[in-house]
Amino acid sequence: MMRLKADYHTHTHYSDGKGTVLDNVRAAKKRGLDTLAISDHSWGHGYFGLKKEKKNQYFEDIEEAQRIFPDMNILKAIECNILGPDGAVDLTPEEMKEFDIILCGYHFGSKIRNAGDLMMHVSNALHKFTGLGEKRVIKTNTKAILRALDHPIDVLTHPGDKGPVDIVAIAKKAAQRGIKLEINQRHKHLTTEQLIQIKDLDLEFILSSDAHSPEAIGEVEKAYASILSSGLDRKKIVNLKETL
């Protein structure tokens, strides 16, 4: 028997979530979690990222929740954005040091700096709706993520969700860098098929809700089913705890 001891990927009203920091923590406490990360989208998301001028209030809300629930471990986290084919992300190394854990993923809606960024978004959207250009999209997405893995991040979120990737190449680079891959409840990636391809690598994973509302905190049943179907060794999932 296994239980989820930590949920490292949750959102609040500071980005595109519905609840407050304290709402999420209360829900995590009710779920019996030991650790919760508040990991809103960073300010490089053009539509609903955390506003940089609200960062201090974000931290204060997390610190206040920690005072109210001293028996829980509440982490200051962020989900930064991969911006384009060059693998740039929207946080500097200095900004990353302010957080306890750095999640990173490719999202539609991240701020566009140049024609290359725009083309990457357009190509992925076109492929999503038509299936066209798959080889080119895989090459671009994989290159972007491989380059992003050179940044000081802790977790790569939902690889392949916004466009297809070479998951084996990405997993090998993540293993070399000590970066964990996310198995996400809200999105289908990592898929069972992807997990089968990479399950034998010397690689760690996290299982996360990607909750956008308090009631979804700790909900990982669908993602956990993919783990069981793939045959992935559950000991490789760092936030699962074996129970009697």
Count CB neighbours of 38 within 10 A. 28
> What is d(CA 92, CA 98) in angstroms, rounded to the nearest whole number?
10
> What is d(CA 104, CA 157) in angstroms, rounded to the nearest whole number?
6
Over range 10-37, report the average pLDDT.
96
Strands 205-208 and 240-242: unpaired
Q: Give CA 66 to chain center in angstroms.
A: 22
Q: What is the DSSP string of 91-124?
A: S-HHHHTTSSEEEEE--TTBPP-SHHHHHHHHHH
pLDDT at residue 70 tops 80:
yes
Q: What are the sequence ranges of the domains in the chain?
A: 2-242
Assess contact for 6 and 241: CB atoms under 8 A: no
> What is d(CA 97, CA 82) in angstroms, rounded to the nearest whole number?
18
Q: pLDDT (tens digit, 9 = 90+) per residue, 178-212?
A: 999 999 999 999 999 999 999 999 999 999 999 99
Q: 140: pLDDT confidence band, cut at 50, 70 and 90? A: very high
Write down the pTM of the prediction.
0.94
pLDDT at residue 46 tops 80:
no
Give me the residue label for tokens 């609840």: 19
Read off the tokens for 101.
């854990």
* Helices 134-148 + 167-177 axis angle, to 10: 0
The answer to whether the bond into 244 is cis (omega within 30° of 0) is: no
What is the per-residue pLDDT for 44?
87
Q: 91: pLDDT confidence band, cut at 50, 70 and 90? A: very high
Write the CATH number of the domain with boundaries 2-242: 3.20.20.140
